[in-house]
Chain A
Amino acid sequence: MEQVKCECGHVNPHGTAFCESCGKPLQDVGEKRLLDMRYEGSARRSQTYKRTIIDQIWAFFSSVKVGVALIVITLIASAIGTIFPQQMYIPPNADPAEYYEKQYGLAGKLYYELGFNNLYGSWWYILLIALIGVSLVICSLDRVVPLYRALKRQGVKRHPHFLERQRLFGVSRVNDPDDAIATLKERLAKQRYHVREEDGHLLAEKGRFSRWGPYVNHIGLIIFLIGAMLRSVPGMYIDRAMWIPEGETKEIPGTNGRYFLKSEQFIFETYQKGKENEAFNAAIDRVGNGMIAKNYQTNVVLYKRVGPVIAGAEPKLKKVKEYAIRVNEPLKFDGYALYQVDFRLGEPKAMSFQLTDKRSGASFGTVHIDLYNPKEEYDLGRGYRVKLLSYFPDFEFDEDGNPSTKSRVPNNPAFVFKMYAPDRPKGETSFVAIQQTIEPFGDNKYKMAFAGLETRNVSGLTVRRDFTLWILGIGGAIFMIGLIQGMYWNHRRVWVQRVNGELWIAAHTNKNWFGLKNELRRLLDGTGLTMPADRLEEGKKARQGGQAHGTA
C-alpha cells in the first residue's frame, strides 16, 4: 500500500487529507480555506480506491448520498402504502380484487393491480430495507476504522497550518505564556477536559466517545434488522388463533399438545351511565349509553399435560394456574402469550323442542339437541321417538334451491325431524328452522314446538411465541444508546500552542458550536487571552457585505 510521510515524521495511509499526527494538510486545498474536519481527514477506502468492481460497489454503498436516497425512496413507498388500507386490514372474507375497486373506484383498482395492497411484504420493499441494511454496514465500516485510527494517533503538537484553518482560531500575545497555559490547563481540567501536554503545547479533549454514537446506533439497527429477518425462518415465531367456548377445555394450538386451556367465562362490559365516574357522563351521552366498551375478559384455567402424548387417549392434565386474560394483560407461560382479541356473544349451543300434538297441545316429552354434537335419535318413551334426518348448523338455500349449510358454526340451525308416535308408526316428517316450520308431505298431527335455546360466549384468543423479540429488544436498546451518545454529547477539542512567542488557540467540535463558544468564553475570561473568532461567521459577513437581505 502506498503511504505518505509527513514532514513531522508520521507515516499516513494513502488518501489522508491532513496528517494524522500533526494535522499538516497533505493535499493542497487552497490558501486559508477551512479544513474539512469530517472523519478527521482520514483516508476512507471508498474515497481512495475506485478501480475494481468491488471498490465501486463499496464506494456506492458507502456514499451518504446513496443512503439518503434509499431512505427517501423507502419513505415515499411507505407513504403510498397508507393511501388505502393494506390487504390485512380489509374484511377477511372479501375478495381483494373486487374489494379495492368497489370501495375506492378506479384508483382502488389501480392500487390493487400495482400490488400496493401488500406493499410492505412485496419483494421490492423488502429489497429496499435490505439495501439500507447493506448501506448501514458499509457506510459505518468505511468511516469508523480510519476515524478510530486518526483519533488515536492525533498528536498534541499541531502544524500551524492545521490550527489556522480551524473554524475557531485566535492569536494572543501575553507577557507570561507559561502562566497563561498553566491557568488554561487547570480550567480545562475543571471543565472535565482530558488535557495532554507536550513541549508546552496543550491538547484538551472531551466527549470523544460521542464520535462513536452513529456507529453504535447503526450496529443496533443492524441487529434489529437481523431480528426482523429471522422472523422469516420457520419456527422462530408462532401466531395462531384459538376460539374457545365457555366451559370447554381445548388444546392450545402451537404447543404441540403440551398445554390445555379451559375457559370458565367470557366477560364483556360496557360503560354504563350512573355506575361510572361522573366525568364520563358527557362522553357516554354522546356515543350512547352502553356503547363504549369497558372490558373484554376471559377467565381461564391453564393446564399442562402430564406424561407422554398417546394418540386417542384422554390426556392427563395438571392445573398450572388460573388467570383473567384481558386486553393489555395477556396470559404468559413458558415463552407463550395468550391474548384476548375477539369474541362471539350468545352463540347457540343447544336447542330444545317438545313433541306436541298440534290440536290438543299435549306434550310428549322434550328433545334436547346439542348443536355441536347432535344425536341421530331421541327416544321419549311410551312409543314416542324423534329421528334427526338432517341437520344444517348454518342454514341457507344453495344455488339450486336445496337446503344446505354455510359453515359448521350453528348461527342459524335448521333440522329435518321424523316424529314417531304410537298412532303414527311410519312417522311424520317436519322441517324446522328458526321461526318457520315446513311440512313437506302434507298436514302432520304432531309438531316439534320450540322449547328453548341455550347459548354461550366464545372467546377469540391469539397464541403467540416469538424467539426474535429479545434480538429486536437488544437491537433497539443499542440503537437508543448510540443515538443518545451521539446526540446528547459532543466531541470538543481545544489546541493551545506557542508559535513564535504568540499563543495560538484553536478549537473544534463535531456539533453545537454555540456551546463550545460559550465554554471557551468562560475558559478565557480574565486570562487576557483573545477569544478565538468564528471564521465561518466572519467569512459570511464579509460575503454579505452588510446587505440587509443577504442569503447565507
Chain B
Amino acid sequence: MVQLSSTLLYTAFILYLIGTFFFGGSIRDRRKEREGKDRWSQLGIAVTIIGFLAQLGYFITRWIAAGHAPVSNLFEFTTFFGMMLVAAFIIIYFIYRLSVLGLFALPVALLIIAYASMFPREISPLIPALQSDWLHIHVTTAAAGEAILAISFVAGLIYLIRVVDQSKPSKRTLWLEVVMFCLITTLGFVVVSTAFGLSGYEAKFTWVDKNKQKDEMIYELPALVGPHEGKLTKDSADRMEPFLEMPAIINAKKLNTVLWSLMAGTVLYIALRLLLRKRIAAALQPWVKNVNLDLADEISYRAVAIGFPVFTLGALIFAMIWAQIAWTRFWGWDPKEVWALITWLFYAAFLHLRLSKGWHGEKSAWLAVIGFAIIMFNLVAVNLVIAGLHSYAGT
C-alpha cells in the first residue's frame, strides 16, 4: 500500500509535467491562429485531472496505510498543499477557461511537490497532540484556503509578466526578476538536495551548542559553514571542511542548506539569463501576450474572494477550536498562529484596498504576489526557522 501510494504520487508529478507542456502547446497553437477547437487545452486539462486523481489516490492509499490523514508532517502537508493548488486550478479553469493559467499554476504546484519531497517521507505515527479529527478538518481546510489564494498569485504573476514593460530596466522589472529568482532558487534547493541525496553524502560533526552541551550534527550537503566548534568525526574525516564556523546561536546546518540553494539558484538563474539573453520575465512575456488583462485581474481577485473565507475557516476558526481542545487555549501567540493571523490581515487589507480604494490591475497583482510570499514564509520559514508549537510539522 505504501509502495502504491508513492507510485501514484510519482505518476501525478509526471502527469502535471506533461499537462504543463500541453498548456504551453495550446498557447503556441493560438499564436498561429489556427481555427477549430483548442485540442491542446483539452488534452492539458484532461491530463491534469488524471494527475489530480492519481494524487488523490496517493492521498487515500497513504491514509489507509497510516490510519490517519497524511497531513501530519512537512512532506505530507506540503504535498497536500500542492494537490489543493491543482484542485483550485481545475475549478478556476472551468470557470474562466484560461489555458495560460495552467502553464503557470502547474509548474508552481510541481515546485511545491518537489520541495515537499526533500523532507523525510516516511509515514510517521501521530504524537498525542495530533490524535484528533481536527487534524483532518483544520489542516485540510487551511491548505485548501492557502491553495486557492495561491491561484491569485498565479493570475497576478501572469498579469505582471504581461504588463511590465521589459524594454528598459525599472523597479518593476527588478522585482519581477526577484520573484523569478525565488522560484528558481526553490528549484535549486530541489536539485542540490536530490543530487547529494542520491550520492548518499553524509558528514558528521561534533559541535558545542549555545548551552555549552556537546552534540552531533549530520550534514547531508557539503559544509560551507560549520557548526560552533564543529569537528568532523572520524568516519567523516574525508569530508569537506567548512570554510566558516558559525556562532552557537545560528543553526549552521539550515544556513548551509540555504546557502547551497542560493548558490544553485544563482547558477541556474545566470545560466538561464545567458541562454535567453534577456530577463526571465521578458522571455516569458510572449507566452502571455494574448492574455486578457481584465480577465487575469478578475481571476486574481476572484481567487482571493473564494479563498479568503476558506482560509479564515480553516486556518483561524478551526485552528482556534482545536487549540482550545488540545492546548487548553484557543489562541497562544505561537509563531504559526501569528503568521496565520498576518496572512489573514494581509488579505483583509488587500480586499479593502481593492473594494474601496480601487486598487485594481497591477497594484492588485503585486499584492497577490506579496500575499503568496507571506503564505510561503509561513510554510517554509516558520516551520524550519522560527519553529514554535507547530514545530512537529518540521520533523
Interface on A for B, CB 8 Å cutoff? 38, 64-65, 67-68, 71-72, 74-75, 78-79, 81-83, 85-86, 88-89, 102-105, 120, 214, 239, 271, 276-277, 279-280, 282-284, 286-287, 292-296, 326-328, 330, 337, 339, 341, 462, 464, 469, 472, 476, 479-480, 483-484, 487-488, 511-514, 534, 536-537, 540, 548-552
**Is B123 within 8 A of A280, CB to CB?**
yes
A298 CA / B294 CA spacing, docked (Å)? 60
Instruction: Give complex CA distance A144, B328 in Å.
Output: 38
Which A residues are in CB contact (< 8 Å) with B249? 103-105
Residue total for B at the interface (Cβ-Cβ under 8 A): 70
Question: Contact partner of A294 among B122, B128, B210, B297, CB < 8 A?
Answer: B128
In chain B, positions 320-345 with a C-beta closer than 8 Å to chain A are: 320, 324-326, 328-330, 332-335, 338-339, 341-342, 345
CB pair A65 B210 closer than 8 Å: no
Return the chain B residue nearest A282 by Cβ.
Answer: B122
Taking a contact as CB atoms under 8 Å apart, the answer to whether A71 and B348 are in contact is: yes
Contacting pair A75 B342 (CB below 8 A): yes
Cβ A328 vs Cβ B345 within 8 A? no
* Residue pair B125, A294 in contact (C-beta under 8 Å): yes
Q: Which residue of B lies closest to A462 (CB)?
A: B328
Q: Is B137 an interface residue (CB 8 A)?
A: no
Within 8 A of A (CB), among B14-40: none
In contact, B128 and A78 (Cβ under 8 angstroms): no
Give bound CA distance, A332 to B247, whole Å.
48
Those of B297-335 within 8 Å (CB) of chain A: 297-298, 301-302, 305-306, 308-309, 312-313, 317, 320, 324-326, 328-330, 332-335
B302 touches A483 (CB 8 A): no
- Given contacts A74-B345, A464-B328, whether A487 and B129 have CB atoms under 8 Å apart is no
Per the 8 Å Cβ criterion, residues 344-395 of B in contact with A are: 345-346, 348-349, 352-353, 355-357, 361-362, 382, 386, 388, 395
**A339 with B127: in contact, given A65-B357, A67-B352, A483-B309 (CB under 8 Å)?**
no
Known A65-B357, A276-B125; further 4 A-B contacts with Cβ < 8 A: A104-B249, A476-B320, A479-B312, A549-B167
Are B345 and A293 neighbours in the complex by a CB distance under 8 Å? no
The answer to whether B233 has its CB under 8 Å from any CB of chain A is: no
Task: Identify which of B325, B345, B388, B395 contacts A71 (C-beta below 8 A).
Answer: B345
Q: A89-B388, A103-B249, A487-B306 are in contact. Are A328 and B122 (CB under 8 A)?
A: no
Provided the pairs A271-B125, A277-B125 are in contact, do residues A120 and B330 lie with their beta carbons within 8 angstroms? no
Known: A67-B352, A283-B123. A328 touches B328 (CB 8 A): no
Q: Are A511 and B305 in contact (CB under 8 A)?
A: yes
When distances are taken between beta carbons in the complex, the residues of chain A under 8 Å from B125 are 271, 276-277, 280, 283-284, 292, 294
Q: How far is the CA of A330 from the CA of B128 in the complex (A)?
A: 13
Most buried by B among A65, A120, A514, A548: A514
Question: Contacts A71-B348, A78-B345 given: A328-B128 contact, CB under 8 Å?
Answer: yes
The minimal Cβ–Cβ distance linking A448 to chain B, given in whole angstroms, is 36
User: Residue A487 contacts which of B295, B309, B329 (CB distance < 8 angstroms)?
Assistant: B309
Which among B131, B294, B298, B345 has the highest number of chain A CB atoms within 10 Å?
B345
* Interface membership of B2, Cβ < 8 A: yes
B293 within 8 A of A: yes
Q: Is the CB of A82 within 8 A of B128?
A: no
Binding site secondary structure of chain B: helix
Contact with A along B229-247 (1 / 0, CB 8 A): 0000000000000000001
Interchain CA distance A395-B303 in the complex, whole Å: 64
Q: Please, which residue of chain B has its CB at the minimum distance from the CB of A280?
A: B125
Shortest beta-carbon distance from A507 to chain B in Å: 16
Q: A86 to B333, alpha carbons, bound, how many Å?
A: 8
Tell me if B118 is interfacial: C-beta within 8 Å of chain A: no
List 8 A–B pairs whose Cβ atoms lie within 8 Å, in order of A's numbering.
A38-B355, A75-B346, A79-B338, A279-B66, A283-B125, A337-B328, A488-B305, A551-B362
Q: Given the interface contacts A65-B357, A78-B345, A277-B66, does A328 sit within 8 Å of B129 by beta carbon?
A: yes
Cα distance A479–B344 in the bound complex, in angstroms: 13
Give residues of chain B (180-212) contacting chain A, Cβ–Cβ below 8 Å.
210
What 0/1 readout, one digit per residue, does chain B (125-142) give for beta carbons within 8 Å of chain A?
A: 101110110100000000
Asked if B342 contacts A279 (CB within 8 A), the reply is: no
Assess whether A480 is in contact with B317, with CB atoms less than 8 Å apart.
yes
User: What are the 5 closest A-B residue pairs judged by CB atoms, nearest first?
Assistant: A282-B122, A327-B128, A283-B124, A64-B356, A82-B335
Measured between beta carbons, the chain B residues less than 8 angstroms from A296 are: 128
CA distance A339 to B330 in the complex (A): 13
Whose C-beta in chain A lies nearest to the C-beta of B128? A327
Whether B67 sits at the interface, judged by CB under 8 Å, is yes
B167's closest neighbor in chain A, by CB? A549
Q: How far is the CA of A476 from the CA of B298 in the complex (A)?
A: 28
Please indicate the chain B residues that have their CB under 8 angstroms from the CB of A279 in the complex: 1-2, 65-66, 123
Residue from A64, A282, A330 in contact with B352 in the complex, judged by beta carbons closer than 8 Å = A64
Chain B residue with minimal CB distance to A464?
B328
Docked complex Cα distance between A471 and B208 (Å): 50
Please, what's the 1-or-0 string for B277-304, where 1 marks a CB less than 8 Å from any CB in chain A?
0000000010001000111011001100
B163 at the interface (CB under 8 A from A): yes
Query: Does A286 lie within 8 Å of B120, measured CB to CB?
Result: yes
Whether B357 and A64, one on each chain, are in contact in the complex, defined by CB atoms closer than 8 angstroms, is: yes
Verify if B166 is at the interface (C-beta below 8 Å from A): yes
Given that A72-B349, A82-B382 are contacting pairs, would A548 and B357 also be in contact in the complex, using a CB cutoff of 8 Å? Answer: no
B342 touches A78 (CB 8 A): yes
Per the bound structure, the CA–CA distance linking A534 and B298 in Å amounts to: 14
Q: Which of A85, A280, A472, A483 contacts B388 (CB 8 A)?
A: A85
Nearest neighbor of B295 in chain A, beta-carbon distance: A514
For A550, list chain B residues within 8 Å (CB). Answer: 163
Does the CB pair A120–B333 fall under 8 Å? Answer: yes
Contact yes or no, B295 A483, CB < 8 A: no
**B175 at the A/B interface (Cβ < 8 Å)?**
no
Assuming the A-B contacts A279-B2, A552-B362, are A339 and B124 also in contact, with contact meaning beta carbons closer than 8 angstroms in the complex?
no
A89–B308 Cα distance when bound, in Å, is 30
Residues in A neighbouring B329, C-beta threshold 8 A: 239, 464
Do A293 and B357 touch across chains, with their CB atoms under 8 A apart?
A: no
Contact A328 B123 (CB under 8 A): no
A328: B residues at CB distance < 8 A? 128-129, 131-132, 134, 325-326
Measured in the bound complex, the distance between the Cα atoms of B123 and A514 in whole Å is 44
- Residue ID in chain A nearest B382 by CB atoms: A82
Task: Compute how far the CA of A52 lies from the CA of B267 in the bound complex, rounded to whole angstroms.
Answer: 63
- For residue A78, which residues in chain B have a CB less than 8 angstroms away from its CB? 338, 341-342, 345
The reply to whether A330 and B325 contact each other, CB–CB distance below 8 Å, is yes
Known pairs A81-B333, A551-B165, A551-B362; A75 contacts B345 (CB<8 A): yes
